[in-house]
Amino acid sequence: MKKVIVIVMVLVSGFNSFGQTDSTKELEKSINELFESYAHYNRFIGSVLISQNNDIIYKKSFGYADMEHQKKNTENSIFNIASVTKPLTAVGIMKLVEDGKLTLETPINTYFPSFIPDFSKSITIRHLLNHSSGMQANIGRIDDEGNGLMPGENPITLNDLLEEFKDSKLKFKPGTGYEYNNFGYSLLAYIIEKESGQSYADYMEQTVFKPANMKNTVVDNYKSLSKKSFSYTGLGMEEFKKFRSPIHSSWVIGAGNINSTTEDLLVFMEALESGILLAPAAVDKLYSYTQSIGFNDSEYGLGWRIEHKGGEKWINHTGLLPGTTSIIGSLPEKNVKIIILSNATSTDLITEDTFQGKSQFVDGAIIDNIIAVLQGKKPKLLPLAVKINSKNREDYSRTYVLDTDHSLILTKQGDDYSLETIGTESWSVFTYQFSRNAKEDNKSSEIALYFANAMSTQNFEGLSDYANDDMKGFLGTEEGINQLKGMWAYFIEQAGAFKSYNIYKIEGEDNKTVNIRFHFEKEDIGFILGINSKNQIQGMFMDDAVKTSPIQKVKLIPTNENEFFINGHQNDGMQDLKIKVSEKGLILIDDNTNFKAAMLSSF
């Protein structure tokens, strides 16, 4: 009888194993389709590694590590991991905590007594780890008030940095807010050196890399130059360019100066999970000693970002430097680990500040789609071009009317299709959502237009009559009006002569948000007014969503008999669009919004 039971169990186990293998193959296929679609448009180069239940379910590399010598990225390619350095630095600090060398509540004036002495006694190790220090001092980020430094090519010392930041102040009381701060992690690297008596590089090698069996990971250098993946700009464009102005690693010590591989980062995550690097209680603190980021219930722990994707906890960290993008993360409920390392960004992130598109796609569309696939959902693939049999189809030019001021001309010449904008003023298909007139015949539109006219004429008389009590304190005072006048003068200085304005979006029922767009000679600027149920202005904000594009003619990529894709990223980085054509008209699809156009003529 026992023999029979054993045989039955083996058979059941065999069938389960077969089912899992089949499912894994389908999962691998879906993930591969996703990466192939992004690679097709030059939107991803690099290496990917995904594991589930400690088994690798997807591993593949795309593009070139060295384009000049035609060397492709492989599973052994070594990448600059940028800010994915931070989780590793955090483990290094936590090891010192475990060893009793310091505590999370140790103030940083213990190590830097002359650095902002009025404030450093209230900033702790924990504040540096979860970006709640409140320091103005920062590297790689400059705020609206000009605080912070951009990194350079030449080396810099700790004393140089402390001198640069000696007059810094706090933006908020430590522990009461969140602001991502690279300099805080550099201070942590120097604290490691002071407490361990070793260089940051040597300490990380002995305390983190060796115990985790990270054979190709090193600080500031590459274990093998032949495996180095060089950094490029031009992601999403037609061609890549080698990034030739690297940031010296001394600027980002502890924050972004480690080089590694996908496999090494996987074993790092496994070593952390299994207790090889830290005791379980210390590991738990990495994810539980958090500071609220302030949106979408996201938090930042000790070197890790804790978010939710599709209802599941997503513990991760991302990295971004000129020519490099990285992300590591886990879905604990599924026991899934994801590592993506890329050696390209769209621009150099610093000098090319007019680019309005995405600097990278990894921390966004790609990771969102991967997680969607793992959760059994369909990913949003980039459409691939198809060949349409046009031998028996004549060339044509058709006009479609979106509204009285905006029309489109769809032209076919042989196998080439294009779309051109025409109207009373020049406009771009990428910014139609901002150009169209969404004015309604109601009080909200009346108030918004009154505000727009007041701004453009700089005559604010009577504007406060439309404000609630809180906003009267701004719009009804000389100080507030002078702020608006100063903003307008800055707009004219930066964007050129004022041309016109329009309302382009109204949302809400009782309380409404009204989006106003001011058109200037060089670019456009947007405002959002909050209007309450009593038809009073209750808030006023700058509109970060506003984009400007001068492009009036774009190439269409056929993806079906009557459907086309517009690759926005190769048109100054604007958003992707889709076009659907029928006998009755045309639909312009901008993200989840459809704009219908009626066909006017065909000739």
Q: For 265-302, how does the pLDDT look when each residue is reduced to its tens digit (9 = 90+)?
A: 999 999 999 999 999 999 999 999 999 998 888 999 99
Q: What is the pLDDT at residue 21?
A: 60
Q: Average pLDDT in the 344-356 region?
A: 85
The predicted pLDDT at position 392 comes to 63
Instruction: Specify whether the CB–CB gap between 531 and 546 falls below 8 A.
Output: no
Integer Cα distance of 475 and 105 in angstroms: 45
Beta-carbon count within 10 A of 352 CB: 13
pLDDT score, position 144? 67
Cβ pair 253, 242 in contact under 8 A: no
Q: Which CATH number fits domain 80-374: 3.30.930.10, 3.40.710.10, 3.40.190.10, 3.40.50.1980?
A: 3.40.710.10
Q: Residues of the chain with pLDDT > 90: what percent?
A: 82
Q: Which of 143-152, 220-229, 237-246 is predicted with the least confidence, judged by mean pLDDT?
A: 143-152
Overall average pLDDT of the 363-367 stretch:
96
The answer to whether residue 18 scores a pLDDT higher than 90 is no
pLDDT score, position 387: 84
Token code pair at residue 331: 């879905």
Q: Where in the chain is the domain with CATH 3.10.450.590?
A: 432-542
- The DSSP call for residue 486 is H
At residue 332, does pLDDT exceed 50? yes
Contact by Cβ (8 Å): 84, 321? no
Q: What letter does residue 383 receive in the DSSP assignment?
A: P
Q: Residue 165: pLDDT above 90?
A: yes
Per-residue pLDDT band at 350 (split at 50, 70, 90)? confident
Burial class (CB in 10 A: 0-12, 13-18, 19+), 414: exposed
pLDDT at residue 545, rounded to an integer? 81
| 3-state secondary structure at position 408 | strand
Of 45 and 356, more confident: 45
- Domain 432-542's class? alpha beta
Q: Phi first, then psi: what are they for 96, rounded to 5°? A: -65, -35
Summary mean pLDDT of the chain: 92
Q: How far apart, in whole angstroms, are the C-alpha atoms of residue 446 and residue 73?
A: 58
In this prediction, residues 504-508 reach a mean pLDDT of 94
Instruction: Assign domain 396-428+549-602 to its CATH architecture.
Output: Beta Barrel (2.40)
Residue 38: pLDDT above 50?
A: yes
Report the pLDDT value the prediction gives residue 391, as an integer from 0 to 100.
Answer: 63
Please give the pLDDT value at position 7.
Answer: 27
Give pLDDT, residue 22.
Answer: 67
Residues of the chain with CATH 2.40.128: 396-428+549-602
Q: What is the DSSP secondary structure assignment for residue 252, as one 8-state letter?
A: G
Q: How far apart are CA 522 and CA 519, in angstroms?
A: 8
Structure-block tokens of residue 477? 């005072």
Residue 146: pLDDT band with limits 50, 70, 90: confident
* pLDDT bracket for residue 446 (50, 70, 90): very high
Predicted local distance difference test score (pLDDT) of residue 16: 34
Residue 601 has pLDDT above 80, yes or no: no
Q: Tell which residue, 573, 550, 555, has the closest CA to residue 234.
A: 573
Q: What is the pLDDT of residue 426?
A: 87
pLDDT at 147: 84
In the predicted model, what is the mean pLDDT of residues 179-194? 97
Alpha-carbon span 263 to 214, nearest angstrom: 8
Res 425: pLDDT: 84
- Run of H or E residues at 3: helix 2-40
Nearest to 152 by CA among 265, 251, 31, 45: 251
User: According to the model, what pLDDT value does residue 1 have?
Assistant: 32
**pLDDT of 219 over the 60 cut:** yes
Mean pLDDT of 112-117: 95
First to last CA, the chain: 84
pTM equals 0.88
Computed from CA positions of residues 116, 119, 122, 125, in that sequence, does the dihedral angle turn out positive or negative?
negative
